[in-house]
Amino acid sequence: MTFETKMKGRQLYDAIGQPKTIVAPMVDQSELAWRILSRRYGADLCYTPMFHARLFATEEKYRNNMWSELDGDKEKDRPLIVQFCANDSDYLLKAAKFVEDKCDAVDLNLGCPQGIAKKGNYGAFLMDDWDLVYKLIKNLHDNLKCPVTAKIRVYDDWEKSLEYAKLVLNAGAQFITIHGRTRDMKGQATGLANWEILKYLKDNLPKDQVFFANGNILYPSDLERCTNVVRCDAVMSAEGNLYNPGVFWTKSDDIDKQFARVDRMLREYFEIVKSCPGEASKHSMKAHFFKLLHAFLSVHTELRPVIGRTSVHANIDDWEAIVVKVEEIVAKIYEQSNIVELDVITVGEVQTWGGAYKTIPYWRCQPYFRKVNGEKQNTRVLKVAADRSQKNAVEQNRSEIAGKRKADDELQVDDRKRIDTTA
């Protein structure tokens, strides 16, 4: 493929099968084994973990730890987009050259909001340097065999968000993924992604622009809701996919696909890990065990320290023993005479954000609800990113206060005049 003939936007999207469900790029969490598992449960397109461009370009050990001969394999790991974080265009291009023949595109991370990204000056913290963002994307676009894409976050300011998205596209990005949260919305300050700003951006970018939405995906049913609101080409999930790979299953309402039993999901994942070459899949295994089992471990707490003290470098038999223990516990659960009544999913009332929370048996994969000030997401009202209605209410309140102050000042002036006249 020459630079002149490499695919652009809609052509590329069509060539990779018009994906609708996407595994997000995550730090050490969207590695090969996880991508293989996620594809089995409905993921159409996967991103690699976020790779550090300078390290990938200059350190063979880092590169070998992150990338194996099976990564980007045409039979087992495509379509695939490789993501890098960077703040140097030369290192970024050099890193991308290592993978340009083993992926469908290279993505620039402009969305990571974590402290390590701030310290390293990459990810969402490049939102403060538009010239550098343009330079990074343009250099890839001009010099790489495969297309370049980008993933960004929004500002509170809708117009600024639109101008930023346009800059990213003008630099040469063929796909744009937009996370509907701002850079500050992380950890304890998290809240809801704003699908309305995503819809605004989609409506005001070129009509044929390939647009992926990211944020607020808890259940398979949320995929269609997001697509209908934003009118996006596809929906990406990070945390929702990590805790339940079945979040992408939309082919049927099969409970064992959408909310699989943790013993079966864990076994399937573990067998994939054992078959994967390289180190990345093994290094990520402990984190995936904890996430897949998060609700299960809240009941069977005795397993938590066992997983915690087992090294990813330990004998594979030590991990096998953990998987077997989970299988034994779940098998006993299904021996209960009333399991048919227990093993059901109930749907709650529709919330202000448009969806409804589900109550799922703890032995099945399910979303994780982060606690903020000790209160879980599904028990409180959440702040919405870039909320125009909230902003308008604040501005209206400020205007009313200013108007009242002006009226009070005028009244005071009138009172002084009356006093002077009386005197």
Residues labelled as active-site residues: 112
Annotate 13-51 with b (16+ C-beta within 10 A) or e (fewer).
beebeebbbbbbbbbebbbbbbbbbbbbbbbbbbbbbbb
CA count, 13 A, side-chain hemisphere, 92: 28
- Parallel, antiparallel, or unpaired for β 80-85 and 371-372? unpaired
Secondary structure element (H or E) that encloses residue 21, with its range: strand 21-23
Q: Are 214 and 244 in contact (CB under 8 A)?
A: no
Of the chain, the end-to-end C-alpha distance in Å amounts to 93
Q: Are 253 and 227 in contact (CB under 8 A)?
A: no
List all residues 6 or more positions away from 265 whose beta carbon is below 8 Å from its beta carbon: 245, 246, 292, 365
Q: How many CA atoms lie within 13 A of 316 on its CB side?
A: 7
How far is 320 from 77, CA to CA, in rounded Å? 25
Residue 150: name the closest of 204, 115, 196, 108 by CA: 108
Q: How far is the C-alpha of 105 from the C-alpha of 306, rounded, in Å?
A: 40
Q: Is the peptide bond before 79 cis (omega within 30 degrees of 0)?
A: yes
How many angstroms separate the CA atoms of 280 and 285, rounded? 9
Could you write out the three-class secondary structure of 208-225? CCEEEEECCCCCHHHHHH
The angle subtended at Cα 110 by Cα 107 and Cα 111, nearest 5°, is 110
Contacts of 327 (CB under 8 A, 6+ apart): 263, 266, 267
- Residue 220 in contact with residue 201, Cβ under 8 Å? no
**Which residues, 6+ apart, have CB-to-CB distance to 410 below 8 Å?**
none
For 94, the token pair is 């050099």
Determine how β-strand 45-52 pairs with β-strand 346-350: unpaired
